[in-house]
Homo-oligomer: A and B are copies of this chain.
Amino acid sequence: MKHHREELWFHTSTRRAFINITSQVQAAIAKSGIREGLCLVNAMHISASVFINDDERGLHQDLDRWLEGLAPHAPIDQYRHNDTGEDNADAHLKRTIMGREVVVAITAGELDFGPWEQIFYGEFDGRRKKRVLVKIIGE
């Protein structure tokens, strides 16, 4: 069994952002030399997400508006987590909806994807350096 590990770093200029990381994950798979296996991609921070969906600007607007409806940022004093001095309780809830991680199949050295699947980093409390872990096992 082979294994490979990489970190991807992000520093968004906005509080919330969706970034397509598919090519970076594919590059990590190429570097690993693994042809058949599983690839875990997870946010290493608990106010961010890794998810798979469509790379379509309108959908990303819909996701952002929908998440804000389900877990509004303001007023920040509606959340007990923010009593600690944070203002990011909503980011923890938004990431819960979007998920921490994806596990993707590797077949013949490639991401084994359907026609529209793309991997995104979802940032909900940005404007600082944060990381994604890529861990690949296989042969």
Contact = CB atoms under 8 A, between A and B. Distances in A.
Interface residues of A, number: 58
Interface string A1-20: 10101000000000000000
A21 interface: no
Nearest to A93: B66
Given A5-B105, A70-B70, A59 B112 contact: no
Interface in A57-97: 57-59, 61-63, 66, 70-71, 79-84, 89, 92-93, 96-97
Interface of A: 1, 3, 5, 36-38, 40, 42-46, 51-54, 56-59, 61-63, 66, 70-71, 79-84, 89, 92-93, 96-105, 107, 112-117, 131, 133, 135, 137-139
